[in-house]
């Protein structure tokens, strides 16, 4: 594992534990219903473990309700190799607007950001924070581990990877998937360098309408 400097914030961590615990307890019935819906509408496991970059440059497994068909990672690699326009779109946004891997139910879950609700367990474990930089997916298409970090974060890697990534963040409330990667890097670097407890509360408050209206989600 490649080591990066780590920032510690006991107040932020205490809030994360309290917030995620309340969410998981109160939301348990809804989470069970979503899991049942996923299981009944497409083949494959209900829960998907998505490999992401975490604090300090470590690889973490973020829990998500499965929104894609089976063998989605292999499908993505094949699609990017065969379609240069899709590769350019992925390089710019780290997402695809018309993604053939996503199931019909998955499209709804993603638009409403419900697919990531299980990540409050990751927050409780200490992998994630409620608010923080977006944790990028690792798919191994850019070469070595260090090459992949550089392709995602550029010269901002040390700053962004010094804190836990978040379930929500400045990216999610500022256009989400419509924000190019280069702009996201700057936004998240500025967040890490200037964040306070109150700015986190503001981001959480802004997340609610962003989710309800699915602005920039795909």
pTM for the predicted model, two decimal places: 0.79
At which residue do the structure tokens 């089976």 appear? 70
Question: Which has the minimum average pLDDT: 24-28, 63-67, 92-96, 170-174?
Answer: 92-96
1 pLDDT band (50/70/90 cuts)? very low
Q: Using one digit for the tens of pLDDT, what is the confidence trace for 105-132?
A: 988 888 877 899 999 999 999 999 999 9
- The total of structural domains in the chain comes to 1
Is 218 part of a structural domain of the chain?
no
Distances (CA, A) of 64 to 19, 49, 70, 113, 116: 18, 6, 14, 10, 5
Winning range, highest mean pLDDT, from 48-57, 95-104, 187-196, 207-216? 187-196
What count of other Cβ atoms lies within 10 Å of the Cβ of residue 199?
Answer: 13
Pairwise CA distance, residues 83 & 69, whole Å: 20
Is 1 part of a structural domain of the chain?
no
Is 181 part of a structural domain of the chain?
yes
Is 4 part of a structural domain of the chain?
no
Is 91 part of a structural domain of the chain?
yes
Is 117 part of a structural domain of the chain?
yes
Is 159 part of a structural domain of the chain?
yes
Is 138 part of a structural domain of the chain?
yes
Pairwise CA distance, residues 24 & 116, whole Å: 12
Domain interval for residue 135 = 10-212
Higher pLDDT, 145 or 182: 182
- For 154-179, b where at least 16 C-beta lie within 10 A, e where not — what string? eebbebbbbbbbbbbbbbbbbbbbeb
Distances (CA, A) of 43 to 68, 72, 115, 132: 10, 12, 16, 33
Tokens representing residue 106 in the block:
């998955």
């Amino acid at each position: 594992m490649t080591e990066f400097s780590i920032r510690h914030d006991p107040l932020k961590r205490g809030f994360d534990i309290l917030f995620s615990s309340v969410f998981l307890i109160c939301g348990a019935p809804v989470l069970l219903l979503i899991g049942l819906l996923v299981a009944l509408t497409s083949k494959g496991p209900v829960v998907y473990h998505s490999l992401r970059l975490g604090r300090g440059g470590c690889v973490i497994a973020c829990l998500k309700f499965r929104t894609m068909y089976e063998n989605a990672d292999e499908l993505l690699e094949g699609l990017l190799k065969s379609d240069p326009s899709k590769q350019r779109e992925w390089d710019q946004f780290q997402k695809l607007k018309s993604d053939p891997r996503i199931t019909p139910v998955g499209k709804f879950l993603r638009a409403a950001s419900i697919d990531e609700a299980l990540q409050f367990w990751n927050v409780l474990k200490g992998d994630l924070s409620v608010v923080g930089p977006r944790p990028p997916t690792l798919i191994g298409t850019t070469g070595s581990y260090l090459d992949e970090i550089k392709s995602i974060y550029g010269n901002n890697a040390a700053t962004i990877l010094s804190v836990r990534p978040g379930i929500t963040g400045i990216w999610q409330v500022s256009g989400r998937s419509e924000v190019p990667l280069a702009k996201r890097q700057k936004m998240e670097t500025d967040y890490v360098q200037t964040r306070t407890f109150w700015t986190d509360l503001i981001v959480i408050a802004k997340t609610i309408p962003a989710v309800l209206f699915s602005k920039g989600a795909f």
